[in-house]
């Protein structure tokens, strides 16, 4: 009896764990609350007259994403394929999985399937999966492009030098960078990867340092616009993005209050009245209303406040409007997931394999050391000893607009596609924020707020990071950390950890503050930034791991004082079986040292 009861207990716990995992995956996929996802599972089990754990297992299998390369080679009859356009070959089913990955990525990227002639020459490329921000010349974006061709939208590409590069990437599998080229009034470059039998292209728009469109780009990224009304003069101003949200011609000017009232759904008018009453009580307004724009219902969140005179009379009203329609339609996505559940099954191993492919695309490593102002930088990524443990480690090393050098490493808790996706969001956010500020403490504050926002949809999400700014003129390093292991400094052959300034993990406290520390680097100093996989190991404590790394750095500098970075990375190449590791090694250099770089492959 005791053994039977114990077995039943274990089985019950496994069932609960399966349901919990399915709820988490479902809520994360469709961006809904955990409670809504759980209720949806219960309804599915009741309607299908099936056990809740069995339905949950089906959801888990559905949301585990297969390896793109394997899917490209082996037909999967249970997957839904995209219809091929007339005259083109039927497409492989695996782009369905790729589309779900691209849906979560920022920027403009697309996965193409090649069209070839009888001799195997590349004739055209067909859109198979597209990120939401990819836009065609006529305004179509995202999934609206699926099934159309490259030649249909960009006929000059077929005859350009870029076409030969794309064909070479498909033939060899080696990624390539397309040099900058003009397109309309902007300059673009392209990164090309072969994924399975397809071609993944990512477009980058090069901003002019004095480009006034920077604010507009930020508004597009957040899908929000701003407006203000001068109640004294009666002048009302809208940003370009606000006109886009309301799909209004800027030549017509901002909407009037009666026009705005007419667009609001009647059921939401009491909310507007309540907001107006709160505004009259000197409160800031924060409400979400449904409006009908050109026959489409949008969910718009408005945050507004006012500048007032000494009596409290408003003189100027200002605010932002954000289109959150996607978030508010999560119930429709739940229904879509349920429909796909009938004919799509995934397994956990394939999900990790796809996450690994995604991670390699998001986090490309340079072929050799980077030469930045006053610094040589070498990078290494060590995947976990267990192939299934794909993590969220990331790095950043680039010159900022103000001439300084920004260095960073970070680690998202957990493994799999969710960790890789969150890693991509944080890394892209840091790169975007560096346009506005290079203060490490301010950057970590922004990343913390972003992580807290993501945590609302992904419970228990947490991450760590260290961000450093190096001024090549003063040779001063300013750095801050968020629950991350301290950098290691090797000076005169002796390695020590830097004293950490205050700073908690990302995603724990929404109003967390971060302190900075400064250090003047001398010529020949070696600095190591790393993630915790380098020092934490199941067979030893973190202190033992830290001492081993410090000893390795001392030996590397002693063995090769002229080329220490190569020696450091060579000694730290052993993978951690429990976690992946990202290592960023930095050495200060002089102008004279840089002139000798053709003699030294790595210094």
Rounded Cα–Cα distance for residues 484 and 460 (Å):
17
* CATH architecture type of domain 2-63: Orthogonal Bundle (1.10)
- CA-closest candidate to residue 429, choices 396, 471, 381, 399: 396
Q: 224-323, which class in CATH?
A: alpha beta
Q: Does 27 score more than 90 pLDDT?
A: no
350-364 mean pLDDT: 59
Q: Does 450 score more than 90 pLDDT?
A: yes
152-176 mean pLDDT: 90
What are the residue ranges of CATH 3.30.450.20 in the chain? 224-323
Which residues are CB-contacts of 359 (< 8 A; sequence separation ≥ 6)?
390, 420, 423
Per-residue b/e over 166-191, b at no fewer than 16 CB within 10 Å?
Answer: beebbeeeeeeebeeeeeeeeeeebb
Q: Which of 249-253, 391-395, 462-466 has the least mean pLDDT?
A: 391-395
What are the residue ranges of CATH 3.60.40.10 in the chain? 363-595
DSSP conformation letters of 72-131 = HHS--TTSPPPPPPTTSPPPPSTHHHHHHHHTT--SEEEEEEEEE-TT--EEEEEEEEE-
Predicted pLDDT at 359: 57
Predicted pLDDT at 410: 93
Predicted pLDDT at 180: 85
- CA-closest candidate to residue 500, choices 515, 521, 520: 515
Q: What is the CATH number of domain 72-206?
A: 3.30.450
Contact (Cβ atoms closer than 8 angstroms) between residue 392 and residue 414: yes
Q: Which of 76-80, 219-223, 384-388 has the least mean pLDDT?
A: 76-80
Sheet strand arrangement including 375-382: 370-372, 375-382, 581-588, 526-530, 488-491, 494-497
Rounded Cα–Cα distance for residues 10 and 352 (Å):
26
- Write the pLDDT tens digit of every residue in 400-447: 999 999 999 999 987 667 777 888 889 889 999 999 999 999 999 999
- CA-closest candidate to residue 443, choices 458, 455, 459, 432: 432
**206 alpha-carbon distance from chain centroid:** 19
Contact (Cβ atoms closer than 8 angstroms) between residue 487 and residue 498: yes
What are the residue ranges of CATH 1.10.10 in the chain? 2-63
Q: How far is CA 149 from CA 68, 85, 116, 129, 496, in A?
A: 21, 9, 13, 12, 57
- CA-closest candidate to residue 21, choices 494, 437, 346: 346
Q: Which of 315-324, 350-359, 497-506, 534-543 has the least mean pLDDT?
A: 350-359
State percent of the chain over pLDDT 70.
77
Rounded Cα–Cα distance for residues 40 and 60 (Å):
14
Contact (Cβ atoms closer than 8 angstroms) between residue 481 and residue 466: yes
**Ramachandran sector of residue 139 (left: φ over 0; alpha: ψ -120 to 50; beta: rest):** left
Q: Does 88 score more than 90 pLDDT?
A: no
Q: How confident is the model at residue 95 (pLDDT cuts 50, 70, 90)?
A: low
Q: Does 373 score more than 50 pLDDT?
A: yes
Exposed / middle / buried, residue 409 (Cβ in 10 Å: 0-12, 13-18, 19+): buried
Q: Which residue has the higher pLDDT, 75 or 527?
A: 527
Neighbours of 490 (CB within 10 A): 23
Q: Which of 120-124, 310-314, 341-345, 528-532 has the least mean pLDDT?
A: 341-345
562-571 mean pLDDT: 88
Q: Which residue has the higher pLDDT, 526 or 106?
A: 526
Strand partners, 203: 108, 190
Q: How many helices (H) and strands (E) does the chain have?
A: 20, 21
343-359 mean pLDDT: 54
25-30 mean pLDDT: 65
Q: Which of 9-13, 271-275, 427-431 has the least mean pLDDT?
A: 9-13
Q: Which residue has the higher pLDDT, 104 or 378?
A: 378
State percent of the chain over pLDDT 90.
28
Tell me the CA end-to-end span of the chain in Å, nearest whole number: 69
Predicted pLDDT at 41: 81
Map residue 348 onto helix, strand or coil: helix
- CA-closest candidate to residue 279, choices 245, 242, 231: 231
- Domain topology for 363-595: Phosphatase 2c; domain 1 (3.60.40)
* Token pair in block for residue 390: 């794909």
């Amino acid at each position: 009896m005791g053994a039977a009861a114990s077995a039943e207990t274990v089985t019950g716990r496994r069932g609960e764990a399966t349901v919990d995992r399915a709820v988490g995956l479902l809520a994360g996929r469709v961006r809904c609350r955990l409670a809504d996802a759980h209720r949806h599972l219960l309804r599915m089990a009741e309607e299908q007259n099936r056990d809740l754990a069995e339905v949950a297992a089906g959801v888990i299998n559905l949301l585990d994403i297969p390896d793109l390369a394997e899917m490209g080679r082996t037909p999967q009859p249970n997957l839904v394929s995209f219809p091929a356009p007339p005259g083109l070959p039927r497409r492989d089913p695996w782009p369905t999985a790729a589309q779900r990955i691209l849906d979560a990525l920022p920027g403009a990227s697309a996965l193409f399937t090649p069209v070839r002639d009888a001799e195997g020459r590349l004739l055209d490329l067909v859109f198979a999966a597209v990120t939401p921000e990819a836009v065609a010349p006529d305004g179509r974006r995202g999934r609206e492009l699926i099934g159309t061709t490259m030649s249909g939208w960009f006929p000059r590409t077929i005859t350009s030098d870029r076409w030969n590069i794309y064909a070479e990437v498909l033939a060899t599998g080696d990624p390539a960078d397309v040099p900058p080229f003009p397109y309309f009034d902007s300059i673009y470059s392209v990164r090309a990867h072969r994924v399975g039998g397809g071609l993944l292209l990512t477009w980058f728009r090069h901003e002019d340092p004095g480009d006034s469109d920077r604010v507009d780009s930020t508004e597009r990224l957040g899908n929000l616009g701003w407006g203000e009304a001068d109640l004294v003069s009666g002048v009302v101003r809208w940003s370009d993005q606000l006109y886009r949200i309301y799909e209004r011609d800027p030549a017509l000017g901002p909407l009037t209050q009666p026009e705005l009232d007419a667009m609001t759904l009647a059921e939401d008018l009491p909310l507007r009245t309540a907001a107006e009453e709160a505004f009259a009580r000197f409160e800031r307004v924060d409400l979400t209303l449904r409006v009908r724009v050109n026959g489409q219902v949008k969910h718009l969140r408005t945050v507004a406040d006012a500048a007032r005179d000494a009596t409290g009379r408003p003189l100027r009203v200002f605010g932002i409007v954000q289109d959150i329609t996607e978030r508010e339609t999560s119930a429709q996505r739940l229904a879509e997931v349920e429909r796909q559940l009938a004919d799509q099954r995934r397994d956990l191993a394939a999900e990790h394999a796809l996450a690994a492919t995604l991670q390699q695309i998001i986090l490309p490593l340079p072929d050799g050391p980077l030469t930045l102002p006053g610094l040589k930088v070498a990078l290494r990524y060590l995947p976990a000893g267990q192939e299934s443990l794909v993590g969220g480690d990331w790095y950043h090393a680039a010159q900022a607009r103000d001439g300084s050098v920004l260095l960073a490493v970070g680690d998202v808790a957990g493994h799999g596609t969710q960790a890789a996706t969150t890693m991509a969001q944080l890394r892209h956010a840091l790169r975007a924020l560096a346009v506005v500020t290079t203060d490490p403490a301010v950057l970590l504050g922004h990343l913390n707020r972003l992580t807290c926002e993501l945590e609302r949809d992904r419970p228990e999400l947490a991450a760590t990071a260290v961000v450093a700014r190096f001024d090549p003129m003063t040779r001063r390093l300013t750095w801050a950390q968020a629950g991350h292991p301290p950098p290691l400094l090797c000076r005169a052959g002796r390695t020590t950890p830097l004293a950490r300034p205050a700073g908690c993990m990302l995603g724990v406290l929404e109003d967390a503050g971060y302190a900075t520390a400064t250090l003047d680097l001398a010529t020949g100093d070696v600095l190591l930034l790393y993630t915790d996989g380098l020092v934490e190991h199941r067979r030893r404590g973190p202190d033992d791991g830290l001492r081993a790394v410090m000893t390795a750095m001392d030996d590397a500098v002693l063995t090769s004082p002229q080329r220490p970075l190569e020696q450091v990375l060579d000694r730290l190449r052993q993978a951690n079986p429990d976690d992946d590791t990202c290592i960023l090694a930095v050495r200060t250099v002089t102008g004279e040292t840089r002139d000798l770089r053709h003699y030294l492959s790595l210094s």
